[in-house]
């Protein structure tokens, strides 16, 4: 072994260290000197360094958050250990030629399917349950409470923190709580045996499980364990208040499950529906596909893959803009250093030293950018978590991204310094200025930046216009000063509910109040029922939306009557023998005179149409207006609508606590409820506004840096023009002609791309805007205005320079 003792005072041995010694300790290639020189160079051109540093740092942090959001969204329900073998049963009900698809089923399917299909090893049935909770003297109104069969713990992954799985399902009147609820109620998870009241029943806590992560399609906060059922009434097939999931054996074939579901339906259900005009079909939906599948009746909140794609595209566009900006600025800085590099070659500095210097500068810049992006990620991680519920600092599944982002920045830096590091180091030693090739490349890169920025700006403006259209569109009903009071979920207090309404109507400032059943609120997912109508002289079954309301419903919401009259509670027939329909139903049936017509519902007793109300949007603007049948029925009222100023909330609460002292009071505002229907669109708009701002700032700063160099290089020329009598307008035109042309061409290229993206996004709305020329004109004018302001700033600085001083400097 050869032992080397370099002059720096410590030992390095063996031949593989020769290369390291040459790199670290040879005078011409000392890394310390290279780092020092790189930092000096970056500081010397600090304007370009700062623009590139901030632009790419912000872009990389944005990409990190976007990648995490997309990854977490694509991993919905992946935390369940058996997620690949879990399927949800959905139910299609066809009547009168119309099919409605339900995410829920009745009680029998899961149990009977397990008995008759060997590949089904277990099933989970989750039924909606009341969520008025009383713990000691405290009352709470909760969500996510489900009545479940014991096998639910076998199908899904529940991490029990307290209690034993065997005991958690075998005792009567038991409940399992999430960790967050246990700590909320008792400040501890050691609560086995504690008593709580849900609705009007007492339950014993037999288990505490870890909260499910945010990327679960169904958020379960409590499980009320139900006893096993062995016999089912035929009507329970249509008690559509349960989510049913089946667990297949690992070797089972999912296609055979759908085949068996059809045979199962023919055997168990078809005989019960004979001569009814109804047809039912079950489908098996993979658990991992539920979140992004089309929404069904009574379905869980849904995601939209198009939004993820749009978010990814926006992030990549911003990254592309920042990358192009970085390359362009680095290339510009390299061109500006032409004389410096040529002079170094004349003085004998080796080609390897120039290449190493160029690479070191790229490496130092990469480290600085990564440090900034890391600080931004840590700084905004909590805000991101509050906004999405996801943890951006979790590294699971991000190792590829961690490796790609530094490599990407390094490649961008090498591309930018390739002119000085490769082209100039291998060219002759003759000193000359950059030619038209470099100018063309810089202009092309700047044009691409403007194209990407134009696309983001146009799409952002289009999203804003659509959201403004949604907010300003007349929905056909009033939403101002309407408060929603959630009523007790019990059948034992109908008298108190009517008394509450009467008391509230007498309060000062209250204009009206109305009792409605669940689903009778515009924008709310409502139930549908089978009706019979006469078509071509034959009684035909149809499925329509059903709203159970009282006589004050239309007046409170200010929905005008088109024909006929409103319900009259004094008329006995209106309580059980009359209906009101909307214009969409009249049009669907082709009735010229609907008043006095008959509709059959349930029993053979006909219901007389006494009124027709004008159409209103009963769902979000993603959907068309649907036919609706209104029944006078307050026996199952789930909400009390109150039209009163916001300050009346305290008086309403006081009346509530007088009648329902043991039940939590819940009040929401109707306008906020409607706005929540478009929360995803609002989030998308906010994100695109952020990206549009970042993109515009990057273009502005890039143009600012590039034009400062352009003006610096033409200072002598412009000084001579001033001496020869050129005015400010002439000077402005001479230096802005090229950049104005780049902006106009870029906007022209961005228009068709943005138009295609906008049309794709608007297809999700049944009511939407038509993209007009104003979108493109405003975007183009904004980009031209910003470019002009940036250029004018530099021109003013040049005009204030004394030509004599400028020529003397040259």
Query: Does residue 212 carry a pLDDT above 80?
Result: yes
Q: Return the percentage of the chain with pLDDT > 90, whole number.
A: 11
What tokens does 674 get? 């409607």
In a domain, 300, yes or no: no
Burial class (CB in 10 A: 0-12, 13-18, 19+), 614: middle
Top-confidence residue, 430 or 285: 285
Q: Which residues of 769-783 are buried (b: 16+ CB within 10 A; e: fewer)?
A: bebeeebbeebbebb
Best CA proximity match to 765, nearest among 494, 497, 511, 473 = 473
d(CA 300, CA 217): 7
**Same domain (yes/no): 415, 492:** no
d(CA 623, CA 618): 9
pLDDT of the residue at 630: 92
pLDDT of the residue at 8: 41
Q: What is the DSSP string of 236-271?
A: GGG---EEEEEEE-TT--HHHHHHHHHHHHHHHTGG
> Cα 514 to the chain's mean position, in Å?
34
**Same domain (yes/no): 270, 318:** no
**Same domain (yes/no): 513, 366:** no
**Same domain (yes/no): 158, 213:** yes
d(CA 687, CA 308): 12
Best CA proximity match to 623, nearest among 477, 462, 768 = 768
Cβ(225)–Cβ(148) under 8 Å?
Answer: yes
In a domain, 729, yes or no: yes
The mean per-residue pLDDT over the stretch 421-431 comes to: 49
d(CA 213, CA 391): 10
**Same domain (yes/no): 535, 665:** yes
In a domain, 22, yes or no: no
Best CA proximity match to 694, nearest among 67, 48, 57 = 57
pLDDT of the residue at 89: 92
In a domain, 578, yes or no: yes
| 560-611 residue pLDDT tens | 999 999 998 888 788 888 999 999 999 888 888 899 889 988 766 788 999 9
Q: Structurally, how many domains does the chain consist of?
A: 3
Cβ(245)–Cβ(86) under 8 Å?
Answer: yes
pLDDT bin (cut points 50, 70, 90) of residue 225 is: confident
pLDDT of the residue at 494: 61
Query: Does residue 751 carry a pLDDT above 80?
Result: yes
Of 627, 647, 676, the residue that ends a domain is 676
**Same domain (yes/no): 671, 687:** no
Query: In 3-state terms, what secondary structure has residue 305?
Result: helix
Q: What is the DSSP string of 672-704?
A: HHHHHTTHHHHHHHHHHHHHHHHHHHHHHHHHH
| 394-406 residue pLDDT tens | 777 777 777 777 7
- Bridge pairing between strands 12-13 and 3-4: antiparallel
- Parent domain of 359: 29-68+306-469+680-809
C-beta atoms surrounding 140 within 10 Å: 17
Which phi and psi angles does 203 have, rounded to 5°?
-130, 150
What tokens does 61 get? 């942090």
Helix (H) or strand (E) holding 314: helix 305-336
C-beta atoms surrounding 173 within 10 Å: 14
**Same domain (yes/no): 416, 523:** no
Query: In 3-state terms, what secondary structure has residue 473?
Result: coil
What count of Cα atoms within 13 Å lies in the side-chain half-sphere of residue 643?
15
In a domain, 788, yes or no: yes
**Same domain (yes/no): 516, 656:** yes
Which phi and psi angles does 108 have, rounded to 5°?
-70, -35
Which phi and psi angles does 452 have, rounded to 5°?
-65, -40
In a domain, 18, yes or no: no
Cβ(632)–Cβ(575) under 8 Å?
Answer: yes
Distances (CA, A) of 510 to 350, 549, 586: 88, 19, 34
Of 676, 695, 710, the residue that ends a domain is 676
Average pLDDT, rounded, for the chain: 78
What tokens does 612 get? 């027709």
pLDDT bin (cut points 50, 70, 90) of residue 3 is: very low
Query: Does residue 430 carry a pLDDT above 50?
Result: no
Of 645, 676, 707, the residue that ends a domain is 676
The mean per-residue pLDDT over the stretch 758-764 comes to: 80
pLDDT of the residue at 621: 73
Query: In 3-state terms, what secondary structure has residue 564?
Result: strand
Q: Write the DSSP symbol of residue 105.
A: B
Cβ(89)–Cβ(284) under 8 Å?
Answer: yes
Cβ(754)–Cβ(692) under 8 Å?
Answer: no
Burial class (CB in 10 A: 0-12, 13-18, 19+), 110: buried
Query: In 3-state terms, what secondary structure has residue 203?
Result: strand
Query: Does residue 28 carry a pLDDT above 50?
Result: no
pLDDT bin (cut points 50, 70, 90) of residue 612 is: very high
In a domain, 258, yes or no: yes
d(CA 284, CA 259): 10
**Same domain (yes/no): 563, 593:** yes
| 377-391 residue pLDDT tens | 888 888 888 777 788
Q: Write the DSSP symbol of residue 421.
A: I
**Same domain (yes/no): 421, 285:** no
**Same domain (yes/no): 264, 149:** yes
Top-confidence residue, 114 or 761: 114
The mean per-residue pLDDT over the stretch 490-505 comes to: 78
Cβ(552)–Cβ(478) under 8 Å?
Answer: no
Best CA proximity match to 261, nearest among 362, 117, 49 = 117
Strand partners, 135: 138
- Bridge pairing between strands 222-225 and 145-148: parallel
**Same domain (yes/no): 668, 721:** no
Query: Does residue 20 carry a pLDDT above 60?
Result: no
| 669-685 residue pLDDT tens | 888 888 777 776 777 67
d(CA 614, CA 581): 9
d(CA 412, CA 658): 70
* Residues sharing a CB contact under 8 Å with residue 266, sequence separation 6 or more, in sequence order: none
pLDDT of the residue at 7: 43
d(CA 178, CA 212): 8
Cβ(532)–Cβ(599) under 8 Å?
Answer: yes
In a domain, 295, yes or no: no
The mean per-residue pLDDT over the stretch 687-694 comes to: 75
């Amino acid at each position: 072994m050869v032992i080397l003792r370099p002059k720096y005072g410590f030992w390095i041995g063996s031949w593989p260290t020769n290369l390291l010694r040459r790199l670290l300790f040879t005078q011409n290639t000392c890394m310390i000197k290279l780092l020092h020189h790189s930092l000096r160079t970056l500081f010397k051109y600090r304007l370009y360094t700062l623009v590139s540093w901030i632009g790419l740092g912000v872009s990389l942090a944005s990409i990190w958050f976007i990648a995490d959001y997309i990854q977490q969204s694509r991993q919905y329900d992946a935390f369940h250990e058996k997620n690949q073998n879990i399927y949800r049963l959905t139910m299609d009900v066809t009547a009168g030629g119309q099919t409605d698809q339900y995410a829920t089923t009745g009680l029998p399917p899961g149990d009977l399917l397990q008995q008759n299909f060997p590949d089904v090893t277990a099933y989970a049935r989750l039924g909606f349950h009341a969520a008025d909770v009383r713990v000691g003297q405290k009352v709470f109104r909760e969500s996510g409470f489900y009545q479940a069969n014991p096998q639910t713990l076998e199908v899904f992954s529940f991490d029990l923190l307290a209690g034993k799985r065997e005991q958690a399902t075998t005792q009567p009147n038991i409940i399992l709580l999430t960790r967050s609820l246990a700590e909320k109620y008792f400040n501890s998870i050691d609560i086995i045996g504690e008593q709580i009241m849900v609705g009007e029943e007492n339950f014993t806590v037999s288990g505490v499980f870890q909260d499910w992560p945010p990327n679960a399609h169904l958020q379960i906060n409590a499980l009320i364990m139900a006893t096993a059922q062995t016999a089912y009434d035929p009507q329970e097939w249509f008690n559509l208040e349960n989510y049913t999931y089946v667990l297949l054996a690992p070797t089972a074939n999912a296609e055979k499950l759908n085949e068996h579901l059809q045979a199962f339906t023919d055997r168990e259900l078809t005989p019960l529906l004979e001569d009814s005009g109804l047809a039912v079909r079950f489908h098996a939906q993979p658990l991992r596909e539920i979140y992004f599948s089309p929404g069904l009746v009574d379905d869980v909140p849904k995601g939209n893959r198009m939004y993820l794609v749009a978010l990814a595209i926006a992030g990549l566009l911003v990254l592309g803009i920042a990358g192009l900006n970085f390359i362009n600025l680095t290339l510009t800085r390299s061109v500006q250093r032409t004389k410096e590099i040529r002079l170094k070659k004349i003085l004998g500095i080796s080609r390897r030293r120039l290449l190493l210097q160029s690479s070191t500068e790229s490496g130092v810049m990469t480290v600085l950018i990564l440090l900034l992006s890391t600080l931004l990620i840590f700084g905004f991680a909590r805000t991101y978590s509050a906004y999405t519920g996801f943890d951006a600092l979790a590294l699971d599944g991000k190792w590829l991204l961690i490796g790609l982002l530094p490599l990407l920045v390094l490649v961008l830096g090498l591309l930018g310094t390739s002119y000085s590091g490769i082209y100039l180091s291998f060219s002759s030693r003759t000193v000359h200025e950059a030619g038209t090739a470099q100018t063309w490349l810089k202009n092309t890169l700047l044009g691409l930046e403007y194209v990407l920025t134009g696309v983001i700006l146009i799409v952002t403006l289009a999203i804003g216009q659509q959201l403004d259209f949604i907010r300003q569109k007349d929905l056909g009903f009033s939403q101002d000063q309407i408060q929603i009071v959630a009523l007790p979920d019990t059948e034992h207090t109908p008298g108190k509910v009517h008394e509450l309404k009467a008391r509230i109507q007498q309060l000062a400032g209250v204009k009206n109040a109305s009792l409605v059943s669940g689903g009778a609120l515009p924008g709310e997912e409502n139930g549908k029922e089978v009706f019979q109508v006469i078509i071509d002289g034959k009684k035909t079954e149809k499925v329509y939306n059903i709203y159970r309301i009282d006589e004050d419903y239309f007046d409170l919401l200010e929905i005008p009557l088109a024909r006929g009259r409103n319900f009259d509670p004094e008329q006995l027939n209106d309580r059980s023998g009359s209906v009101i329909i909307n214009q969409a139903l009249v049009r669907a049936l082709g009735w010229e005179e609907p008043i006095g017509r008959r509709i059959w519902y349930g029993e053979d007793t006909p219901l007389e149409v006494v009124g027709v109300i004008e159409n209103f949007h009963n769902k979000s603007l993603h959907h068309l207006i649907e036919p609706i049948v209104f029944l006078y029925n307050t026996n199952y009222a789930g909400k009390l609508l109150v039209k009163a100023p916001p300050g009346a909330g305290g008086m309403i609460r006081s009346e509530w606590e007088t009648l329902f002292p043991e039940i939590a009071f819940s009040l929401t505002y109707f306008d906020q409820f409607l706005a929540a229907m478009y929360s995803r669109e609002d989030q998308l708009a906010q994100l695109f506004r952020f990206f549009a701002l970042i993109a515009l700032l990057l273009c502005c700063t890039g143009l600012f840096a590039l034009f400062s160099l352009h003006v610096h290089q033409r200072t002598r020329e412009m000084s001579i023009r001033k001496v020869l009598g050129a005015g400010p307008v002439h000077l402005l035109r001479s230096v802005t002609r090229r950049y104005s042309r780049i902006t106009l061409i870029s906007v022209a290229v961005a228009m068709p791309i943005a138009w295609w993206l906008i049309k794709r996004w608007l297809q999700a709305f049944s009511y939407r805007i038509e993209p007009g020329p104003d979108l493109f004109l405003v975007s183009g004018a904004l980009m031209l205005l910003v470019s002009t302001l940036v250029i004018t700033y530099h021109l003013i600085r040049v005009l204030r320079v004394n030509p004599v001083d400028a020529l003397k400097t040259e």
